[in-house]
Amino acid sequence: MNRKAIMAAVLAAAMLTAMTGCGGDTAGTPAASSGADSAAESSAPAMEASEADPVVESVEVPGDEVIAEESGAADGETVQITFDYVLNGTPIVVGEEAAPVLEKLGAEDSVFEAPSCAFTGVSYYYTYGGVQVITYPDEHDQSLNRLYEVDLIDDTAATNEGIKVGDTYDDLIAKYGKPDQETPAYASYQTEGKAVRFFLDGENIKQIVYTIVM
């Protein structure tokens, strides 16, 4: 596929996310948006975790980390989960001011804007290969944009722990352990004010979202 075709597909995905995020069923949008607490509150039955013993890899990256118990791991084994995505060496901390981070990331492949579904004002969607960075307007200063989400939209981008779109639920459990919250449609790992969520199509991951938790 040539570069023009790839860029057209990415822009189309960004437009679809923006247009359907206010109430449609999209990969990153279980309710009003993928960062909405309503998805996290779902009472649907939890998916059964894999019984296979996971292999834990140690990853050193900046940002918040949580030590969580490993589902199916041997007693005493732990896994480190990071909640700030690192793109080309630049940490993207959701909730922080967007401008300094966007400057460090450099020229985006595409940018799209749409009325924000979760906030008053306009959200911007910046695409860098298989990664989409979404901003939202500060509630106290509409001229200031903050980082809302980092979406991994294809298999060219992986989490800091090595999970990517197309991997399976069992792959996820082996790396991350038991989710804090889950339904048949997604698995969520959370820390204070942040979450990383894995949206599922059957047993396969179709989108990965780093987001703020309000």
pLDDT at res. 75: 40
Q: Domain total for the chain?
A: 1
pLDDT in tens, 108-147: 999 999 998 878 889 999 999 999 999 999 988 888 999 9
- Cβ 188 vs Cβ 181: under 8 Å: yes
Q: How far is 15 from 145, CA to CA, in rounded Å? A: 19
Residue 52, token pair as written in the block = 């296979």
Give the range of the structural domain holding residue 160, as residue numbers without chain letter: 3-212
Q: What value does the mean pLDDT of the chain take? A: 75
pLDDT at 78 over 80: no
Among candidate residues 173, 170, 171, 161, the one with its CA nearest the CA of residue 84: 161
